[in-house]
Structure 1
């Protein structure tokens, strides 16, 4: 072939792909053109080195690019002419991915710290290798006029860079400089009154050193920041934000600062410094007491009684300059009242954050959509996302083999950690973290995101998937869409969706046979009208069979049991025949009315929840609050208590036997645990025995069931398996059996919509 068309699909817009193609074509002596369009990148090329050219498109792509396909087809000869050129974008149906926002690259960081550079101290420097993308794009194809940078007219110097294919800022859509780009300023409180200073960032750092709380407009929304070493400032932020105990994230100016306070492996360092720049949960360097301690120099209130802290590096030049000027770590938490969506607009921030912040570090670059910080944890050698947002969304995932021709699906997720998932033409787009839909404002943002993704990606679903629970707002959203459009609905059981999500992430083929899914979480509605949460399911994409589960116990008070761990302790001890222990441990609580309600079956649904088992054990050890201030508070305290004792000795564990009815019975665990408490065994050892016993019982059950039913793999999923101690224990006990685990997709409900989407697609693939 002497002349070809080449279609490139993937993450290939906004990453410097066209100048890369231009330079490569010139090196190989090719003639032709390259352009962006709605499907990706389109090349028309002629010459003698087309095979080498096509290979290099795969092998040498720019750092932020992800090439999913390179399709080459012969075409009529090009008209005679010289050279290779980049031509104007053509508009069409949006079929290409949008690039996630990316951390400041080393070249841009060097420039903003160099007094001789024209972008010295400029907080919005970027290039094709870094900067805002998804947070500013308003339409596809991705061009400056389709972003929130459209209102900033390029100065001659920036225009020259933007138009030069040899410059790393060629067609960098957010390109800017102090002469023509966004500007930052410092305001007092929520008044809108500017603080008179020539250097707002340096002034903000000075106020932070004096104990002020600062609202900062970042890439995907506002943060609230304060000196992480100042206990009074951190406590003040907790009171103002109404966040009593949930850990705060930290931002450090460099990796050296983080390693001073935390143990950082090579994998963790790579994750911190990756373009996505997530928050990474890192073990505190000073291990301290069994209940956790604060790293040296970090205020105790940053993360009370935790064994790990969440750290991140500066995500933009603004953050880089602020952290350098401050000279130490800052608390960097989302700019919102706990549970609500973070503020993104300047006016919204002045109104909502005035009660929290003393000063506002603002800028005038609009944010197209709010994006929380992503959260990751390295477990068993892999970085695993716990929240997928800035830096990762909206990067697409390939659908498993066999689902390439499945109909387009829109999946709506569940209640907590809600996400949406859009599938089309062999790809799945898992949305950014949208939050918990039991908050009204979050539910409103969820509905906006539904419309936003549909418009941005020009997505027209053929089927709508949702959770089985009839009362979830996400279910209501799917049902409303079905009424408007006449599209069919596909309800998907919660834990089947969990297992399908981990199968899909690992590329398990549609015809790959069954897997043994282990889904451990707080709750999910079962088809038997009980609350599930400790499940062993034989699954393919289309269907599942429940083989085993934790033995159900009541949830006294229904929803109240999710936030009040002592209720679960009562239910578990009574179910184990240990009512006298319940009377002794819970003598401050109204037990008689709850027991009467359980006996009568009033507001006490049966549940196999693993999450509620963790709550009950934490309550038994006296480390759970009467009422949790955030999800997972008791379980996190229990892991912190256990962690120092897990490797010190081979502890005897608390075993959960599998009975003839396929139920793992916690009663023997409770009898052994109560015996240890009575003998004065240290609580840390009891917590470690619980973790090890649960992990080994899960693995033993999974191996037995997988062997009996000829399952080809064991898939581990659900929010409880974000507990690093539990996941490590299960993986160790499973040995060499093939396992499927999460990495890019959260194990919690943040990955649920992906599972719903592949189940709905598979059910309509036939076969």
Structure 2
């Protein structure tokens, strides 16, 4: 008999066709397999029991990186001609194939990298069907070498033999290459460093020496550039922080291996699994006090009990830490996004030499182009051991979410902070990588390129665009321009907190037939009444909502200036609650006489005081009242400082602060503030105050 199978899901770029070829050969079946725009097409012919067994094994045991969402079957007339099983050429049309994310270097490739007898010993781009770049090198679908940034590197005879051998691990592995035919490395020193340019192995050796000597190197990775330095060198870390104008924001660190990570942070089994998985995100861990392991510079994560840690995920990273026999070098490196604060990550080599000048002392560059910028993902493990993505990017995009309700072809452009986009059609939603804050033209350009790239990979042509309702958002203005250019209707403007709750509905597979009680607590969002919302309880489904309850609003004097000064927010909250500004309060002492006078005038006459129900701003105010943070140099600094303070307390020592209730209904924080100040004046330690507030 002959049977046609159409396989949907993440089935391209994961060794699926070689897997099918080997399975068909095992049962001596004739036919073919090929990539299509919608997945993989298979036809097999042979005895009925063998065909049935083939189909069972295909469904039950796909390749490790594959994710099958559906298999269609159609029985066909047998040809009776016998023959072999072949891999067909790919159709180059648009469709719905799910391209896999980039994955960390697999164990087999790492063994080859370290084996002096292997022809890929120390090859910085060793990869196979089970690992390496996918999303960041793909330019179109279906996924074939001609549709990747590896197209400009013709395979040498040895690589071509591996690529064409169904029994080889690199059979139809699109990024396959070696030192004879693949990309190369070069080191470009900045003027005045005294270093000389170098290539390939010498470039890596000199890069390691520069890092060991306290220099900052821009390292090109899968999705763009990192800025790297020795994480144990206080001067290097301080220099990088100053050059990047990063303020007190924490740096992530890359550890050479799991043992090194264990020496600088506490790991649970769930955190260990997240750290070593194929996605290789940055994982937020509890930092260890300095012990026998590397002593990290104090400037890595100032004032934070947490440490963002990741492990090497490319061969270049592995080689930066060195192989056996290499001179000793740093075992922990700062790895921060290669950009200036507020700009998107740099991917283009010429732009890197310009935009990172003054930040880097040298550039370690490879000549495989990056098709899509893709920053590192960020994850934390909840108390119950489940992972929570805080930034969904490399290793996870463009993996789709299956929606509980269908959508028309649509583009959602995201908001102005921590921007990311999404394309949806039918029951699938594809997420783009983290882009950043929409603060300049470079970010808007990155957004346009990310939209075009994701559309090319998914085949989605949006007929509708959704944007935040905030009239001043750059992302909303971009959506309007994008709609006009495409001849589409004006964008659908969505209330910020309704979007949060609708996203939670989709994430949990709820169809929205019954409205839910949705809680949305954040720092800011444009409210229906023109004020700043952020402490909201909505009755909502996907299309409608009602503001059921919220935090009692307080003035936000000075807008963004107020956000940067938690001590001013504290005084505004006290004023709204009718609590005097007495000199014994930390927030009052933190403000100058002039600040207090100006602030009192603003509040009394309601000058530049937008009301806000933001829970984030309440956290900022309490951070100042407890002395945790009076001036914030970056987003969420005060809230993070308050959390760190609370973690110093073993528990809330039997106390907690209860909100009052006001008509609306509204949650009134005035009783919380009065109880906290009473404890403060009784000498209750600040960590206990913070724990009781939480």
| TM-score over 0.5 for the pair | yes
Q: Which moved more, 1:616-625 or 1:107-116?
A: 616-625
Q: 1:436–1:443: 8 Å Cα contact kept in structure 2?
A: no
Q: 1:565–1:634: 8 Å Cα contact kept in structure 2?
A: yes
TM-score (structure 2 length as normaliser): 0.94
- Which of 221, 225, 242 is the equivalent residue of 2:245? 242
Q: 1:54–1:70: 8 Å Cα contact kept in structure 2?
A: no
**2:345 paired residue number:** 342
**1:113 paired residue number:** 114
Q: Summarize the Cα distance change of 1:589–1:262 in structure 2 as closer, same or farther, 3 Å threshold.
A: farther
Q: Which moved more, 1:64-73 or 1:74-83?
A: 74-83
2:42 matched to 1:38?
no
**2:179 paired residue number:** 178
- Measured after TM superposition, the shift of residue 72 of structure 1 is 1.1
The 1-side partners of 2:352 and 2:298 are apart by 28
Cα deviation code 1:257-298 (max 9, x no counterpart): 00111111111111111111000000012299xxxxx99611
Q: 1:215–1:357: 8 Å Cα contact kept in structure 2?
A: yes
- Measured after TM superposition, the shift of residue 456 of structure 1 is 3.6
Higher relative contact order (CA 8 A, sep 6+): 1
Cα deviation code 1:421-444 (max 9, x no counterpart): 111131000111111012332122
**2:602 paired residue number:** 597
TM-score (structure 1 length as normaliser): 0.86
- Measured after TM superposition, the shift of residue 601 of structure 1 is 3.4
The 2-side partners of 1:344 and 1:358 are apart by 18
Q: Which moved more, 1:596-605 or 1:301-310?
A: 596-605
**1:13 paired residue number:** 12
Cα deviation code 1:129-185 (max 9, x no counterpart): 101111111111111111111111111110000111111111111111111111112
2:353 matched to 1:378?
no
**1:73 paired residue number:** 74
SS in 2 for 1:300: coil
- Which of 497, 501, 504 is the equivalent residue of 2:503? 501
Q: Summarize the Cα distance change of 1:127–1:197 in structure 2 as closer, same or farther, 3 Å threshold.
A: closer
Cα deviation code 1:567-610 (max 9, x no counterpart): 21121010111132365553445233333333443321111101
**1:321 paired residue number:** 319
2:648 matched to 1:644?
yes
The 2-side partners of 1:656 and 1:123 are apart by 57
The 2-side partners of 1:529 and 1:197 are apart by 57
Cα deviation code 1:544-565 (max 9, x no counterpart): 1221111111111123222222
The 1-side partners of 2:341 and 2:8 are apart by 40
Q: Summarize the Cα distance change of 1:302–1:258 in structure 2 as closer, same or farther, 3 Å threshold.
A: same
**1:754 paired residue number:** none
The 1-side partners of 2:283 and 2:311 are apart by 10
- Measured after TM superposition, the shift of residue 625 of structure 1 is 4.3
- Which of 387, 396, 399 is the equivalent residue of 1:395? 399
The 2-side partners of 1:567 and 1:30 are apart by 75
After the TM superposition, which residues 689-708 of structure 1 pair with which residues of structure 2 at under 5 Å, given as runs?
689-691=692-694
The 2-side partners of 1:584 and 1:393 are apart by 47
The 1-side partners of 2:116 and 2:285 are apart by 34
**1:354 paired residue number:** 357
Q: 1:127–1:169: 8 Å Cα contact kept in structure 2?
A: yes
The 2-side partners of 1:224 and 1:31 are apart by 52
The 1-side partners of 2:300 and 2:490 are apart by 48
SS in 2 for 1:103: coil
Q: Summarize the Cα distance change of 1:460–1:233 in structure 2 as closer, same or farther, 3 Å threshold.
A: same
Q: 2:498–2:540: 8 Å Cα contact kept in structure 1?
A: yes
After the TM superposition, which residues 206-245 of structure 1 pair with which residues of structure 2 at under 5 Å, given as runs?
206-245=209-248
The 2-side partners of 1:80 and 1:429 are apart by 42
Cα deviation code 1:603-639 (max 9, x no counterpart): 211111011111111122233242x221111111111
SS in 2 for 1:204: helix
The 2-side partners of 1:584 and 1:195 are apart by 56
**2:281 paired residue number:** 278
Q: 1:282–1:377: 8 Å Cα contact kept in structure 2?
A: yes
2:90 matched to 1:86?
no
SS in 2 for 1:448: helix
**1:702 paired residue number:** none
- Measured after TM superposition, the shift of residue 80 of structure 1 is 1.4
2:555 matched to 1:554?
yes
The 1-side partners of 2:508 and 2:142 are apart by 30
2:620 matched to 1:615?
yes
Cα deviation code 1:422-476 (max 9, x no counterpart): 1113100011111101233212211222233233433212221111111111111
**1:705 paired residue number:** none
- Measured after TM superposition, the shift of residue 388 of structure 1 is 0.8
Cα deviation code 1:389-413 (max 9, x no counterpart): 111111111011xx23x31111111
After the TM superposition, which residues 484-523 of structure 1 pair with which residues of structure 2 at under 5 Å, given as runs?
484=485, 485-511=487-513, 513-523=514-524
After the TM superposition, which residues 460-475 of structure 1 pair with which residues of structure 2 at under 5 Å, given as runs?
460-475=461-476
The 2-side partners of 1:594 and 1:59 are apart by 66
SS in 1 for 2:12: coil
The 1-side partners of 2:624 and 2:461 are apart by 48
After the TM superposition, which residues 286-301 of structure 1 pair with which residues of structure 2 at under 5 Å, given as runs?
286=289, 297-301=295-299
- Measured after TM superposition, the shift of residue 190 of structure 1 is 6.2
The 1-side partners of 2:431 and 2:454 are apart by 10
- Measured after TM superposition, the shift of residue 196 of structure 1 is 7.4
After the TM superposition, which residues 420-439 of structure 1 pair with which residues of structure 2 at under 5 Å, given as runs?
420-439=421-440
**1:629 paired residue number:** 633
- Measured after TM superposition, the shift of residue 221 of structure 1 is 0.8
**2:98 paired residue number:** 97
Root mean square deviation, CA, Å:
2.0
Q: Which moved more, 1:297-306 or 1:651-660?
A: 651-660
The 2-side partners of 1:439 and 1:307 are apart by 33
Q: Summarize the Cα distance change of 1:486–1:648 in structure 2 as closer, same or farther, 3 Å threshold.
A: closer
SS in 2 for 1:357: coil
Structure 2 residue runs of 5 or longer lacking an equivalent are none
The 2-side partners of 1:603 and 1:660 are apart by 26
Q: 1:569–1:616: 8 Å Cα contact kept in structure 2?
A: yes
The 2-side partners of 1:598 and 1:59 are apart by 66
Q: Summarize the Cα distance change of 1:78–1:399 in structure 2 as closer, same or farther, 3 Å threshold.
A: farther
Q: Summarize the Cα distance change of 1:196–1:121 in structure 2 as closer, same or farther, 3 Å threshold.
A: closer
The 2-side partners of 1:516 and 1:271 are apart by 31
- Measured after TM superposition, the shift of residue 10 of structure 1 is 1.0
Structure 1 residue runs of 5 or longer lacking an equivalent are 289-293, 692-767
**2:657 paired residue number:** 654
